[in-house]
Structure 1
Amino acid sequence: MQSELRKRLIEAFTDAGGEFLSGQHLAEIAGCSRTAVWKHIEELRKEGFVFEAVKRKGYKILQTPEKVSADEISLGLKTAFLGRTIHYEESVSSTQKIAHRLVTDGVSDGTVVVAEEQTSGKGRMDRQWHSPKYSGVWMSVILKPNLPPPRAPQLTLVAAVAVVQAIEELTGLMPQIKWPNDILVGGKKVTGILTELQADSDRIKAVIIGIGINVNQQYEDFPEELLHTASSLAIESGKPISRASLIQSVLSRLEKLYITYLQNGFHPIKLLWESYAISIGKNIIARTLTGEIKGKALGITEDGVLMIEQEDGAVRQVYSADILLEND
């Protein structure tokens, strides 16, 4: 009964062609109360439908869920090896967990895990990453470089540049990177990157790069505690973004930058990363596990380590920290 009612509501909005439908009209079509209409619309929101609600006009559907299939991603993908094997999941606890399991099973270099939803997505320092269904890009990329483990963190910065370039290409927005792995638009976070390893003491077995991009969320999709710090590409650009196209662009740019990195080292990536960095030349606060470091961000070393010049002229190297601009 419930699924049939919701089907009628969706058909009504489809037939309306983008026009508003009153709650009373929807109730008559669905054969239920206006309160029931509201409840079903809220359920549809949770599944990825985007509505505009206006008093005395009713509801208008702005966007339907866009599922991203492996076939859709592969169809327009222009890479040699990255994403040529795609593991698609409707809902997972974490794409990183799936990727770790696949590495153990011997999956090929360049394999990508894509999910519509993560129920336990995480970022740096085991912080929760909000990953609702049908609204973002939640994926993990498996790379198997012939590199020593200490160089693995550089790949986080390679991935950050790739994501920035892909967002620029598809949206026209001007994203910036906050060291080491946050991508901001309009001062709000739209992307997080988490790099994890499977390695022996002297060699990398696999680098797993988790990428979470807020794509088509609206304000009401974010928990209240994130409203002032997080945003989405749709909010910032004012239009919905094709998630499949974004995945294709990220993978294409990541492959090119990764090959450049393997052939020419980190320096070309370093220059690109610094050109997108929000904090270079600005006074920042680095909150580390042992305390705060204040000073001017000079840039990053050839190892990807952040350099901060303190008031006394001493330059500190920061390997892990939360970064705040002093005017934040």
Structure 2
Amino acid sequence: MASSIRDELLKVLIEHQPHFLSGEEISRRVGCSRAAIWKHIEELRHEGYEIEAKPRNGYRLVYRPDRVAPEELAPHLQTKRFGRHIRYEYSTPSTQTLAHQWAREGAPEGAVVIAEEQVQGKGRMGRTWHSPPQTGVWMSLILRPPISLAEASQLTLLASVGVQQGIKRVTGLPIQIKWPNDLLIHGKKVCGILTELRGEQDQIHYMIIGIGINVNTTSEHWPEELKKIATSLAIESGGHLHRATLIAAILKELEEVYQEYLNSGFRVIKSKWEQAAGMLGKTITARTPQGLITGVAERLNESGALLIRTDQGVIPVYSADIDWKEI
């Protein structure tokens, strides 16, 4: 109960920022005594919120720390399900690990695990993901799609479309998708998406969409080997971004494309992915389990494989690392 009062208080203060709101009015809106309001305001101040109090005027929110806690996300969410249930950690080995545990315990579809820092972030093919504290978006979304195992790879492509659209809506940056689901700006990686699932025979029990975005990261945060290949939204836009606002936009876009997929199938997602892809029509090299394939990336097939035109014909690629040079 206490946390819900605190969350509602913060929501009211955010909605009226930068104006004052009387203690009486806050009490009425939040549904608790003025003494309880004062107690929760003191707790918020301890967490870095600057709240001004003036006799006869009431309270107003002057400064908000850049946090991605549920009470910061709530005022910005415009979704029906995605992000309505959140598990928040300041620091965790991996949001993917926590999401798997929560999914096994029965977490509802659209539930999100989110952290300020990952110390063992997971990337594709067993790689690690560098996740400095309070600089990016490190979250995992739980889905329970009514699709077959054979269609599961389409959700990876869907996720890249939703995240790309959410980031673009907030920043306006020229973000391209690299197959299957990395997001690049000017050829440098700004976001990675990792899809994992649990199922048996032809039934999916749940899927976890892991999303790592370099938001306010600077080059000083990265080890030397990442500086030439990675970038962040702040570096590219030239300014600090409010992460909770960005997460809310991404969850909204993800929910919309997911519902569109459930209603109309993969075709519309395929079209959106191809429009956002940076490699189509270019010569690429795909490092597959079967060896290197070099050719022109043409499009996706109906199942989501990347079609590459080579001297030997058109070859569908289902799993690979892609290399291509941005010109």
Q: TM-score range by the shorter chain?
A: 0.7 to 0.9
Matched, 1:73 2:73: yes
What's the offset of the Cα at 1:311? 2.3
Partner of 1:102: 102
Deviates further, 106-115 or 65-74: 65-74
Query: Following the alignment from structure 2 to structure 1, what is the Cα–Cα distance between the partners of residues 84 and 326?
Result: 44
What's the offset of the Cα at 1:66? 1.7
For structure 2, the 5+ residue unaligned runs are: 1-63
Q: Which has the higher strand share?
A: 2
TM-score of the pair, normalised by structure 2: 0.79
Counterpart mapping for 1:241-260 below 5 A: 241-260=241-260
Partner of 1:221: 221
How large is the RMSD of aligned CA atoms in angstroms? 1.5
Partner of 2:318: 319
Q: Is the 8 A contact 1:286 1:294 kept in 2?
A: yes
Cα deviation per residue 1:265-296 (whole Å; 9 max; x = unaligned)?
A: 00000000000101101110001122100000
What's the offset of the Cα at 1:326? 5.1
Q: Is the 8 A contact 1:285 1:326 kept in 2?
A: no
Query: Following the alignment from structure 2 to structure 1, what is the Cα–Cα distance between the partners of residues 226 and 150?
Result: 33
Aligned residues: 265
Aligned to 2:121, the other structure's residue is in SS state coil
Partner of 1:279: 279
Letter paired with 1:167: I
Matched, 1:201 2:201: yes
Query: Following the alignment from structure 1 to structure 2, what is the Cα–Cα distance between the partners of residues 153 and 192?
Result: 15
Letter paired with 2:202: D
Q: Is the 8 A contact 2:175 2:183 kept in 1?
A: yes
Query: Following the alignment from structure 2 to structure 1, what is the Cα–Cα distance between the partners of residues 165 and 105?
Result: 32
Partner of 1:115: 115
Partner of 2:230: 230
TM-score of the pair, normalised by structure 1: 0.79
Query: Following the alignment from structure 1 to structure 2, what is the Cα–Cα distance between the partners of residues 263 and 120?
Result: 36
Query: Following the alignment from structure 2 to structure 1, what is the Cα–Cα distance between the partners of residues 97 and 131?
Result: 15
What's the offset of the Cα at 1:152? 1.3
Partner of 2:29: none
Q: Is the 8 A contact 1:99 1:113 kept in 2?
A: yes
Partner of 1:130: 130
**Percent identity over paired residues:** 51
The 1:165/1:308 distance shift into structure 2, 3 A limit, reads same
Cα deviation per residue 1:88-114 (whole Å; 9 max; x = unaligned)?
A: 011110000000000111111110000
Cα deviation per residue 1:202-241 (whole Å; 9 max; x = unaligned)?
A: 1111010000000001111111000000000000110111
Query: Following the alignment from structure 1 to structure 2, what is the Cα–Cα distance between the partners of residues 124 and 107?
Result: 24
Q: Is the 8 A contact 1:149 1:203 kept in 2?
A: yes
For structure 1, the 5+ residue unaligned runs are: 1-63
Partner of 1:8: none
Query: Following the alignment from structure 2 to structure 1, what is the Cα–Cα distance between the partners of residues 81 and 172?
Result: 27
Query: Following the alignment from structure 1 to structure 2, what is the Cα–Cα distance between the partners of residues 123 and 299?
Result: 25
Partner of 1:61: none
Query: Following the alignment from structure 2 to structure 1, what is the Cα–Cα distance between the partners of residues 285 and 326?
Result: 10
What's the offset of the Cα at 1:65? 6.2
Partner of 1:308: 308
Letter paired with 1:233: L
Aligned to 1:184, the other structure's residue is in SS state strand
Query: Following the alignment from structure 1 to structure 2, what is the Cα–Cα distance between the partners of residues 317 and 204?
Result: 24
Query: Following the alignment from structure 2 to structure 1, what is the Cα–Cα distance between the partners of residues 189 and 325?
Result: 17
Q: Is the 8 A contact 1:186 1:236 kept in 2?
A: no
Partner of 1:189: 189
Q: Is the 8 A contact 1:286 1:293 kept in 2?
A: yes
Letter paired with 1:79: T
Partner of 1:145: 145
Aligned to 1:209, the other structure's residue is in SS state strand
